[in-house]
Structure 1
Amino acid sequence: MKRPRLRRKATPKSRSSVFQPPGTISYVGEERHGEVTSETILYDTNEFKKLDGIYLDKLSEDHVNWFNIDGVHEIDLLEKVGSKFHLHHLLLEDIANTTQRPKTEFYQECIYQCIKMISYNPEEKDIDQEQVSILLTKDAVITFQEKTGDVFENIRERIEESRGRIRSSKNDYLFYALIDSVIDHYFIAVEQIGEHLDQLEDEIFDDPQKESLERVQKNKRMLLKLRRAIFPLRESISRLLKEDSELIDQHIKSYFQDAYDHCIQIIETVESYREINAGLRDMYLSSVSYKMNQIMQVLTIISSIFIPLTFVAGIYGMNFEYIPELKWEHGYRYFWILSGCLFVALLGFFKWKKWL
């Protein structure tokens, strides 16, 4: 049965939103019906509060305010948050569209950072990605995620336990810390992909199978998807470094330089993995060809050994009446002695030629 070939699809887009006016907020992404969860974290040097739910009325200029929302398919909640912080309708449209490429946009009221949160799935041998929208406003930091579960738990612990400088810093540092946390987890995913490629390389070198070639092709699509998620982030972080904004202090930009360097390092690693994976296909073909050559070599040697023996047996198997050797008393014994000598001579010749 012929296996159906996977077709490449263009960037998914909700059909209902294709011909709608710009700025129309409609969810684009995987179908979700789960309940939207949210949390509110308020802190300063001396105080920390964590509340389940979105409490926009507790917004305080004396605290750093972090509002985290898991789920962007509930349009009413997006509009509520947008109304509170006077967010542009085009910005809200981008948040609801989970197929955005990583980017940074500067608005009058905020800075919008779109980034892909990536994790490696060892069972599927593929990456899982989720869009995260991070907004830095004058009074708060707002994060929008597609679903529950993120890589920000370390940030929450640092805030709660007052580790590092985060409790003594402002919203712009929290904005950087969230972006940096996502980028740092790229290293974990990339390292796991590297281990997978090493295992596959050993497998192809030792015993190449048809499934190995299929995994190489699957890796090609996985690395391309990973590149699409990470490569635009370099330009995005570069904008945060180059453009001036009242929302980000100058001393925070040195931290974004560190994040930019990490992006370059990850991109170079992904590119090297793509080259390694491309080499695995050549290695597979070479291994299969070498294995086939070994088989053909053995069969050729066996055939070469039996050709002269068959020639001798063919001569004395003819139906001529007068063949002198047929009347020899020890003719059968002489035949096996001759066959043995030919066998040993041919083996010695193959050894001398280093064909064995």
Structure 2
Amino acid sequence: MKKLSSKKNKKTFNDTYSSSMIQPIIVAPKEVKISVIDYDADFFEEKVLENLKNLYDYKENEHTSWINIEGTHDAQIIKRLGWLYQLHPVLQEAVCRENQRAKIDFYEHNIFVVLQMLSYNDTIDDLETEQISIVLGEKYLITFQEGKEGDVFDEIRVNLRGSSKQKLRNAGSSYLFYVLLDAIVDNYFLILEKITDKLESLEIKIIRDHASQDPTYELYEYKQRLMIVRKAIRPLRDIVGQLSREDNKIIRESGFYLRGLYQRITQVVEDTESHIEMSSNLLNMYLSVIGQRTNQVMKTLMPLTFIAGVYGMNFKNMPELEWQYGYFLVLILMAGFAGLAYWFFKRMKWL
């Protein structure tokens, strides 16, 4: 990966980056929202900026700045931000691109990470995904979000607004980077807990209620969600593992925390694999229950089959065939067995 070289001569913005280097991937009518949290142990400021001109003041001070960009469709804003914070043109183009695989790139002045941020929407009972790009520098951290409502960082913002004695206020941008990743991983745990509750509820229905309703579709849906979690968390584990081993001055002070985070992510991966196996086992259990139920039905219907088979034989010397009411007696006998079977099925909640 080619790294950004330092500039010896001052250049204008248009001279530095050609407008053809960044192509907007999507065009959305929603305005880009730029918010900044600037802080250290003795200072805190939180603002929503109307334009990027005000960022120059934060670039020059000695505080730690967390810049959050909601909406990545405006390539001009990304390009101006790239000029201010020395973001490589390839990095800028990657920020604008949707549906990327998780990755990490190292540049001369910063580290660039792309991740998938997951959340569970209880209203629609489904997972929602959002791509988040993070640029980490020595005194700043920039997060690019797609502009969807809400994220998993609200608690971090609350902590930053709180006491100046907190470690988060006294640490630098690399520790903030670790805290953001930790919040994303915490949310993975919450998602797994919700899916676990759903699977355990289905397990109870299959065993206790004899699966009166077919749970196959639900099991398939939850398995697909678990596979989405696995697809998102595995690359994150590789990224955090690489960062924890990296001897880079930007991230060096948070290496210890990243190694601990790597262990937590490994636990999420193992739990996800376990839950995927659990969903497959539940499906096999349901099919086994259905098979047992079918066997019970066949056993119950055997008398009817036997009666129909006996009187369906084509022998001449069958005394019952000469009875005046033999036919009606057989029908009554079969109806009696059918009624008994129906009562049994209702009692077993099979109907």
TM-score (norm 2): 0.77
Q: Aligned with 1:40: secondary structure?
A: strand
d(CA) in 1 for partners of 2:122, 2:299: 40
Partner of 1:119: 119
Partner in structure 1 of residue 55 of structure 2:
56
Structure 1 residue aligned with 2:34, among 38, 56, 68? 38
Please give the alpha-carbon distance, in whole angstroms, between the structure 1 residues aligned to 2:84 and 2:195. 42
Letter in structure 1 aligned against 2:56: D
Residue 212 of structure 1 corresponds to: 215
Residue matched to 1:226: 229
Contact 2:188 2:229 in 1 (8 A): no
Letter aligned with residue 119 of structure 2: S
Aligned residues: 302
Equivalent residue letter for 2:291: S
Identity %: 32
Q: CA deviation at 1:102?
A: 1.9
* Pairing 1:315–2:314 present: no
Q: State how far apart, in whole Å, the 2-side matches of 1:176 and 1:234 are.
A: 13
Q: Does 1:156 align with 2:153?
A: no
Cα gap change, 1:65 to 1:316, in 2 (>3 Å): closer
Q: Is the 8 A contact 1:39 1:51 kept in 2?
A: yes
| TM-superposition CA deviations, 1:256-302 (whole Å, max 9, x none) | 01111111000001101111111122122112111111111111145
Deviation at 1:218, TM superposition (A): 2.2
| Deviation larger for 297-306 or 70-79 | 297-306
Find the partner of 2:255 among 250, 253, 266.
Answer: 253
Q: Provide the secondary structure at the position in 2 that maps to 1:167.
A: helix
Alignment match of 1:25 (pick from 1, 22, 25): 22
Paired letter, 2:198:
H
Pair 218,26 (structure 1): closer, same or farther in 2 beyond 3 Å: farther
Worse overlay, 258-267 or 275-284: 275-284
Summarize the Cα distance change of 1:164–1:309 in structure 2 as closer, same or farther, 3 Å threshold. farther
Q: CA deviation at 1:207?
A: 4.0
TM-superposed deviation, 1:125: 3.8
Structure 2 equivalent of residue 100 of structure 1: 100
Task: In structure 1, give the amino acid aligned to 2:22.
Answer: I
Structure 1 residue 239 corresponds to structure 2 residue 249: no
Shift of 1:136: 0.8
From 283, 293, 296, the equivalent of 2:295 is: 293
Task: Tell me if structure 2 keeps the 8 A contact 1:120–1:193.
Answer: no
Give the drift of 1:166: 0.7
Gaps of 5+ in 1: 1-22, 320-325, 327-331, 344-356
CA deviation after TM superposition for structure 1 residue 309, in Å: 9.9
* 1:134-167 deviation digits (Å, cap 9, x = unpaired): 1111231101011141111111111100263011
- State how far apart, in whole Å, the 2-side matches of 1:33 and 1:207 are: 52
Letter aligned with residue 228 of structure 1:
K
Shift of 1:27: 4.4
SS of the equivalent of 2:117 reads strand
Instruction: Name the CA distance, whole Å, in 1 between partners of 2:241 and 2:176.
Output: 18
For 1:151 and 1:190, locate their aligned partners in 2 and report how far apart those are by CA, in whole Å: 15
Counting only pairs closer than 5 Å after superposition, residues 266-305 of structure 1 correspond to structure 2 as: 266-304=268-306
Q: Tell me, yes or no, if the aligned pair for 1:40 and 1:50 is still in contact at 8 Å.
A: yes
Q: Distance in 2 between matches of 1:209 and 1:25?
A: 57
CA offsets per residue over residues 95-149 of structure 1, 9 Å max, x none?
1122122222211110112121111234444311111111111231101011141
Contact 1:43 1:63 in 2 (8 A): yes
For the 8 Å contact 1:95–1:144, the answer to whether it is kept is yes
Describe the SS at the equivalent of 2:132: strand
- Match of 2:169, SS? coil
For structure 2, the 5+ residue unaligned runs are 1-19, 338-351
Q: Spell out the pairing of 1:137-152 with structure 2 (5 A cutoff).
A: 137-147=137-147, 148-152=149-153
- Name the structure 1 match of 2:340: none
Look up the match of 2:187.
185
Provide the secondary structure at the position in 2 that maps to 1:246: coil
* CA–CA separation in structure 2 for the residues paired with 1:247 and 1:73: 28
**Residues 291 and 316 of structure 1: CA distance in aligned 2, closer, same or farther (over 3 Å):** closer
Aligned equivalent of 1:134: 134
Q: Is the Cα–Cα contact under 8 Å of residues 56 and 84 in structure 2 kept in the other structure?
A: no
Task: Note the aligned Cα RMSD (angstroms).
Answer: 3.0
Task: Give the deviation of 1:224 after TM superposition.
Answer: 1.9
